[in-house]
Amino acid sequence: MSNFLSRRFFLTALTSTVATPLLANAPERSLRPHLRPESLGKQPVKTVEELIKAANLNGDVAFSVVEIGTGKVLEQHGITTGLPPASVSKAVTALYALDALGPNHRFQTRVVATKPIENGVLRGDLILVGGADPTLSTDHLGELVQTLATAGLKRVEGRFLVYGGALPFAETIDPEQPRHVGYSPAISGICLNFNRVYFDWKKTADGYDTAMEARSAKHRPPVHVARVSLTDNKTPIFAYSAKNGKDNWTVARHALNKAGGRWLPMRQPEIYAGEVLRWHARARGITLPSPQKTTSFPRGETLATHSSGPLTDVLRDMLKYSTNVTAEMVGLSATLARGTYAASLRASGQHMSEWAAERLGMAQAKFMDHSGLSDRSRMDASELALALAAFQRKEILHPILKPITLKHENGSPNKDHPINVYAKTGTLNFVSGLAGYLESSQGEEMAFAIFVADTDTRSKLTRDQRERPRGAKSWNSRAKKLQQKLIERWGLVYAS
């Protein structure tokens, strides 16, 4: 059997989820299971209350664990508390995208010419057309240029334009994040290197050599649309301003070591991609003018096309690496495929909320985006666990979820742990989530969702504090340990 059902079967399964009485409503109180001594061995099983108390976490804990196939609620806690899901949202985004686009959908980036090439010269415009591909890389642009060179192009006498209008533009995914974090870049219909630029530095006898690069496995093209300068200021370490269509960064010199680098978010995605394609063209002997952003849909002959991998592969990597820009772009594309051009991430998130209520029975879900980066999103653990339990696990979501390695008490990976977990993690400072599937040592399969959040403490953080606030690392570590303890409890208590 194939990894995915047909689109018609997929939609039927989604619709039947809402209509099944067994999955319609969760109990209004925490269920206390009957322990099964034959499955426990000599291991003591702590109560939920004991595990939560031992975790010593400020904030709220909500979870639900449900039997696969039957939708029987085995245990839950805090079911009325809607909490920030963080990147657990991406699991719902994956289902949303598969429903709207289909598992075999591929995103295409094209190069279009408004006139024919004659004797190596294009006397019209050349347009790089973004097709909402979140996986486009510097190397892929090089492949497009190779195709242009094979077609005989030597010079463009018209304009070199870049179109990113396939999706709405957003300067950043979440305006409440620090400006310099690479996981909250701009969103556009064209996205190069996850819309990040690599800031590289090396100490010299005279100070520092710095560079901004569109770095890839094969190439390091210099980037001019993003510039960096060093300052002697103690704070802030990073400062950003946009001027004359360029990203201007300043970095505090004292924060740099002898050599290093980090990814910074790109706010000018069209010009960024245009610069890199022009760099590849120059290396192939093709002369292009400087890139310009266009908002007009391009028409002309397609000279070169790059296609992404199938959507299933894109989503598998999104769930594995938790790439926010991928989640936002596939979510926006899904909304568009459903007949709505959402003007913002928030508007598209609202459409996904409505879809989740209709298709998944998640009436309390409130998505402010598709990645979970906004802490204003909310999900109910009982609703999510029931939704996950209603799907044909091996046919839809399970194959693209990441295996989660449980740990020993000392924190080291326990690769021989008897419980298998495939799930999506979600982490913000003072927010931790985990949802997916577990299989006990006896083969019992369960869907679960766990959300832990100290929203009061998080709400008091300033924008600049949100990258590494005091106490967050320890809090999140304890939250993850609680999640494992709960999973181990379920794997013992509900083993066959």
The phi and psi torsions of 17 (rounded to 5 degrees) equal -60, -45
Report the CATH number of the 7-103+355-493 domain.
Answer: 3.40.710.10
Domain 7-103+355-493 matches domain 107-308 at the CATH topology level: no
For residue 22, the model assigns a pLDDT of 31
Q: What is the pLDDT of residue 496?
A: 65
pLDDT reported for residue 391:
63
The CATH homologous superfamily to which domain 107-308 belongs is D-Ala-D-Ala carboxypeptidase C, peptidase S13 (3.50.80.20)
The three-state DSSP-derived secondary structure of the chain is CCCCCCHHHHHHHHHHHHHCHHHCCCCCCCCCCCCCHHHHCCCCCCCHHHHHHHHCCCCEEEEEEEECCCCCEEEEECCCCCECCHHHHHHHHHHHHHHHHCCCCCCEEEEEECCCEECCEECCCEEEECCCCCCCCHHHHHHHHHHHHHCCCCEECCCEEEECCCCCCECCCCCCCCCCCCCCCCECCCCCHHHEEEEEEEEECCEEEEEEECCCCCCCCECCCEEEEEECCCCCCEEEEEECCEEEEEEEHHHCCCEEEEEEECCCHHHHHHHHHHHHHHHCCCECCCEEEECCCCCCEEEEEEECCCHHHHHHHHHHHCCHHHHHHHHHHHHHHCCCCCCCHHHHHHHHHHHHHHHHCCCCCECCCCCCCCCCCEECHHHHHHHHHCCCCCCCCHHHCEEECCECCCCCECCCCCCEEEEEEEEECCEEEEEEEEECCCCCEEEEEEEEECHHHHHCCCCHHHCCCCCHHHHHHHHHHHHHHHHHHHHHHCCC
Angle at 367 between CA 362 and CA 475, to 5 degrees: 100
**pLDDT value of residue 10:** 36
- The percent of residues in the chain predicted with pLDDT above 90, rounded, is 84
| Token pair belonging to 386 | 């029931």
**Predicted local distance difference test score (pLDDT) of residue 30:** 38
Residue 306 pLDDT: 98
Tell me the whole-structure pTM to 2 decimals: 0.90
| Per-residue pLDDT of the chain in tens (496 residues, 90 and over written 9) | 333 333 333 333 333 333 333 333 333 333 444 444 343 345 578 999 999 999 999 999 999 999 998 899 999 999 777 999 999 999 999 999 999 999 999 999 999 999 999 999 999 999 999 999 999 999 999 999 999 999 999 999 999 999 999 999 999 999 999 999 999 999 999 999 999 999 999 999 989 999 999 999 899 999 999 999 999 999 899 999 999 999 999 999 999 999 999 999 999 999 999 999 999 999 999 999 999 999 999 999 999 999 999 999 999 999 999 999 999 999 999 999 999 999 999 999 999 999 999 999 999 999 999 999 999 999 999 999 999 998 665 578 999 999 999 999 999 999 999 999 999 999 999 999 999 999 999 989 999 999 999 999 999 988 877 778 889 999 999 999 999 999 999 999 998 6
Question: In 370-380, which positions are buried (b, 16+ CB within 10 angstroms) versus exposed (e)?
Answer: bbbbbbebbbb
How many CB atoms within 10 Å of residue 248? 14
Predicted confidence at residue 81, as pLDDT, reads 74
Q: What whole-number distance in Å separates Cα of residue 361 and Cα of residue 433?
A: 20
* Domain parsing of the chain, residue ranges: 7-103+355-493, 107-308
